[in-house]
Amino acid sequence: MAEDLRDKLGARHLPLRDQVLTALRAAIIDGDYLPGERLTEDRLAEDFGVSRNPVREALRVAEAEGFVVILPRRGAVVASPSSGTIADMFAVRERLESLAARLAAERATAADVAALRALLEQGREATEKQDLRRVAELNSALHLRILQISGNPWLSSIAKALYLHVQWVFRLGAAERAPHSWAEHIQLVDAIESGDGDRAERAALAHLDAASAAAFENAEGGYGTVDGHRPQA
Amino acid sequence: MAEDLRDKLGARHLPLRDQVLTALRAAIIDGDYLPGERLTEDRLAEDFGVSRNPVREALRVAEAEGFVVILPRRGAVVASPSSGTIADMFAVRERLESLAARLAAERATAADVAALRALLEQGREATEKQDLRRVAELNSALHLRILQISGNPWLSSIAKALYLHVQWVFRLGAAERAPHSWAEHIQLVDAIESGDGDRAERAALAHLDAASAAAFENAEGGYGTVDGHRPQA
DNA sequence: AAATTGTTCTTCGTATACACTTTGCCCGGA
DNA sequence: TCCGGGCAAAGTGTATACGAAGAACAATTT
């Protein structure tokens, strides 16, 4: 009965391939694996303490997500975001996140707004404490939350992937402009709370413009090219 | 197993997992595997004449692309696009393809425009001949071409994936509104040729609105839900 | 009829094997 | 010294087998 439920919940360990994928993404974003670095299956398998199969499956997804490039018979290397693709990413994000802001404004419940305000408050505290790492975390959490509130799973999933890449580029450039952007976040949440879709969209756009400008200031030349092979139909 | 490919040119031989992925996508889009249908690894391996490993890797990517849903310890089933997510897809496509149209207008070379016009001409012929299958093909080719001309790989890749899903939904609904949409295509290409980004964006929007409306007319109730599990960081 | 048990199907992960390619190193010759 | 050839190591791509664990369903018991 109760024990059955507990067992079920306890026995809830997600597949190794997913853990590997998450760890791999994190390692790449954090710069533990640098762009261009070769990722042999054996090495990854050892790093994560698993066999080759989960690693291979994780690598395929990481490739589809653009974190690694796989060259047939030669293996995987960490992808190299170029400054060209950074601009492209922001162009797409503008379209997507402004839509998310609009939808969020139109659909947000009181609880949703409260959750956003809570994140804002935590962000303010972390900023005061100069805890940049935590600020970055909360930054992500806020954006992701807005995407979720938008209620459009496609939008959410795609923008999330893009967001991860942006994080990656930022970390590589060692740019943490987070503190400065917090004021813009407040504007954005205010707009969402107001329920005014147009206003929320404008706020999102303004925020992204600023972020984009900051990204370019800190972008020291391209790293190479991201190709992405991905075999589409 | 697969002695069909005795190509001495090993370098050209693309990995089985990619062939499987392509075939799987095609089978799902063509309705050979129907939404909700269970896809056991053994069966797919047998269908495609390969071992389970390539199948597993292809399945992970297909999951990331939203074509299948994988339930841990239970296996993969073909995803079920619901009318809810159809609307969501169009909402995202509007943002993305209108951006693509704008960029294409701003960047298209004479050769690009010529290629588009050639597709338009072929489409007109196929429409006259009532060759609906070919019309659908050219339809895709045109949209994909515009994405490519936009020169933004992120935009291109994401919109392409969305487009595949739209195709899928259309085929399931057996809706081929293609002939009617051809006039809109001409408007769009004209706008791109003019180099007027605003105008191209408006044309793309108009086209998508019409397509969206048509999709809903032919959408006979939802099939279920597409979830997508995908473990993000 | 409800609860329990058992059986079967399948996924998940590991391990192993091997063909084939790519890479890199060594070596002998100019 | 430099070059080029050739050979061995490394690593991917694929197949196969096996055991553990979970889920679904049937059978059995209460």
**Where in chain A are the domains?**
2-78, 83-218
Residues 6+ apart with CB under 8 A from A81: A35, A165, A168, A169, A172, A223, A226
Distance CA B200, CA B163 (A): 19
Residue A230 is nearest to which of B14, B89, B157, comparing CB atoms?
B157
Q: What is the mean pLDDT of chain B?
A: 85
Backbone angles phi, psi at A30, to 5 degrees: -75, -5
Q: Give the pairing type, strands A75-78 and B38-39.
A: unpaired
Q: Taking residues A15-39, report their average pLDDT.
A: 95
- Residue contact A60–B17, C-beta within 8 A: yes
Cβ(B29)–Cβ(B163) below 8 Å: no
- Residue B229 has a pLDDT of 38
CATH class label, A2-78? mainly alpha
- Residue contact B61–A61, C-beta within 8 A: yes
Distance between the alpha carbon (CA) of A43 and the C1' atom of C19, Å: 22
* Least confident stretch, A113-117, B80-84, B220-224: B220-224
CATH architecture of B83-218: Up-down Bundle (1.20)
Task: For chains A and B, count residue pairs whose Cβ atoms are closer than 8 Å.
Answer: 112
B178-214, pLDDT tens digit by residue? Answer: 666 788 999 999 999 999 999 999 999 999 998 888 7
CATH architecture of B10-78: Orthogonal Bundle (1.10)
pTM equals 0.84
A198-225, pLDDT tens digit by residue? Answer: 999 999 999 999 888 877 776 544 443 3
Distance CA A161, CA A20 (A): 17
Chain D positions with an atom below 7 A of a protein C-beta are 10-16, 21-24
- Residue A174 has a pLDDT of 54
Residues whose C-beta lies under 7 Å from strand C: A 15-17, 49-54, 73-74; B 8, 10-11, 39-42, 56, 70, 72-76
CA triplet A60, B22, A70: central angle to 5 degrees? 30
